[in-house]
Structures are given as C-alpha cells and as structure tokens.
Amino acid sequence: MRLFHHPILCNYYLTYRCNAACSFCDIWEKPSPYATPEHVAANLRDLKRLGVRVVDFTGGEPLLHRQLPEFLSLARDEGLITTVTTNGLLYPKQAQALKGKVDMLHFSLDAADALTHDTGRGVACFDFVMRSLDIAAELGERPDVLFTVTDENLPHLERIYREITRPRDLLLILNPIFEYNTVGSQLQAASFQALRHWGRQPGIYLNDAFLTLREQGGNHTDHPVCRAASSTVVISPENALVLPCYHLGEQHYPIENRLYDLWQSPLVARERAQEGRSPQCEGCTINCYMQPSFAFELNSWFLRALPSTLKYTVEKWVY
C-alpha cells in the first residue's frame, strides 16, 4: 500500500563540480554549469506544489555554489526541510552565512586519521572537517558525521565514534558503499555483522534495510524495491528532470519553468511506471534512492527501516 502519491524528496544538483576527487565517486570528473537563481526559485515553488517535503542541495560539492545560502532561505520560505552534505573544505569560510539554514547538515568523514581519509578523498580535507565541526558547535549547529563504509575503512569506525562523534554529542550516519558504473564497490558479507552491531549503539544511525537488501541481492526487476522515480525528484545543474535517478539516469527532460506540469505529464508518468524494472536496475543497492523507497510504501521494507528512522528522529531532535 502506497503511503504517498507524490514525491517526498528532491535531490537538487546545484553543480557536478567538486573540489575533491573521491575514489568511490565519479561526479567530480564531469564538466558542469551552476544552477541559476531563476531556475532554483521557480523549481522550489513547484516542488512545494508537488508535495515534496525535503530538498537536498547536493553536487559535486554544493558549497561551491556561492548562492547556496540564498537557495536554502528560499527553500525554508516554502516550508521545505533542507539538507546539505559537504566535504568541509569551504565550510569554515561560509559557516556564518549558512547558520540556521540547514536542517540536516552532514560532514563527510571516512577515517579517524588524516592520511587515510585524505587518500580516499583525493585532497587534504580531514583537518577542514575537524575545524568545521568546531565552528559548527560555536555557532550552535548540530551537524551529523556521514561515514561512507568500505571493507577497508571499517576498522576506523570505532575511533570515529569514540573520539569524534560521541564526545561532541553528534550522530554518526553509516552509509554502506555502493557500486555504480565503474566506481564504488560492494561490502563483503563479513562486514554486515559488524555494521549491525554498531547500528545498535546510541548516537549511530544505520538503516538495517540497506544490509538486508544487499543480502537479498539488491533490487530485482521482477519485483522491484526501488521507488526512486516516484519518490524523488532529481534536478540537474542544466535544469533538467533526470529519470529514473541520477546514477542510472538515461532521460533528461528540460524543465523550462514547468516542473509541476512536467512531473504530472503522461511522458514522465510512463518513465515512473518502469521504475526499478529496467535492466540496469537489477541488483542495484544505491542508498540515495532506497532510503526514500523504503518510506514510500507500507510493506516489509518500511517496517524494517522504521526502527532506525525513529531512532534518528528521537536522537536528533528530541534529546
């Protein structure tokens, strides 16, 4: 049974440019423009009309867009929940302008020491993340730490938790690495048990449905879990609607200030009807789209994801 008949999330790519070169990502290799203020303002109004609840301003590195603070204010004026994930390189300079405008601010951190983290990210950014955490605390912000988990960096999890997030009373989000195109990888089965142990600890968020999906071979086209094309509006820096999702997106429809009408058009409806059923969707485990998919229908996946969702809500906003 569907709980929503409208999209609940927008992944708004402000630019594909990035000031890092992460080994598990290829977006930084793409040439890219920046989203224009006119397009962003018009699209935010239409996202509100469509029923979207959350807008994730992403990239690339979203802080590369100098008008990000303005976009965040516009989104909040529309009643949208805002989220931003950053590598921390630009946050110290922009922290004051961003203060109070990001509901869910995430700093990416993949190791407990600078050498390991910076090697994986392709640039020296560990010290910037540490400085960003301190600045955020001074400004009264409570960011999350986003840990992209691989088999190689899993041993760093305990130190990040014990030395970085728990002393600061911050939530540690575990993001199991996924594979797409020619980048990323899949976790070994032996890592699942360790992750489940850590996911039960206070101050750590892990959606157990991610791991179960891996154990069951990912999305299956004959009975798809993925509801990416229905739950998530993906907008490119060129102001196109990307379907079925960013990572596997094959269709780009120019928005031309008509996002509301475009989303409800028969053309896009046909694309949504095939969500999770294309050949390239077989075995997919891309977390970005499975998270909203788990929340979109009342089924076994919803129930498996519910405890972690409630845990995040309580630990983030109640305590």
Condensed to tens digits (0 to 9), the pLDDT of residues 56-82 reads 999 999 999 999 999 999 999 999 999
Separation between Cα atoms, residue 191 and residue 202, nearest integer Å: 20
Separation between Cα atoms, residue 167 and residue 185, nearest integer Å: 31
Higher pLDDT, 193 or 240: 240
User: Taking 90 as the threshold, does the pLDDT of residue 159 lie above it?
Assistant: yes
Q: Map out the domains of the chain with their CATH numbers.
A: 9-104+189-318 (3.20.20)
User: Taking 70 as the threshold, does the pLDDT of residue 97 lie above it?
Assistant: yes
pLDDT at 181: 60
Asked whether the whole model's pTM tops 0.85, one would answer yes
Query: What does the pLDDT look like over 265-283, one tens digit per residue?
Result: 999 999 899 999 999 899 9
pLDDT at 84: 98
Phi-psi region of 73 (alpha: psi -120 to 50; beta: other; left: phi over 0): alpha
User: Can you tell me the mean pLDDT for 236-263?
Assistant: 92
Are the CB atoms for 6 and 53 separated by under 8 Å?
no
Backbone φ and ψ of 231, nearest 5° = -90, -25
User: Taking 70 as the threshold, does the pLDDT of residue 258 lie above it?
Assistant: yes
Task: Name the least confident of 113-122, 189-198, 237-246.
Answer: 189-198
DSSP conformation letters of 245-259: -TTT--EEEE-TT-H
297: which strand partners? Answer: 2
High-pLDDT (> 70) share of the chain, % = 97
pLDDT at 191: 87
What's the half-sphere exposure (Cβ side, CA atoms, 13 Å) at 50?
A: 28
Q: How confident is the model at residue 145 (pLDDT cuts 50, 70, 90)?
A: very high
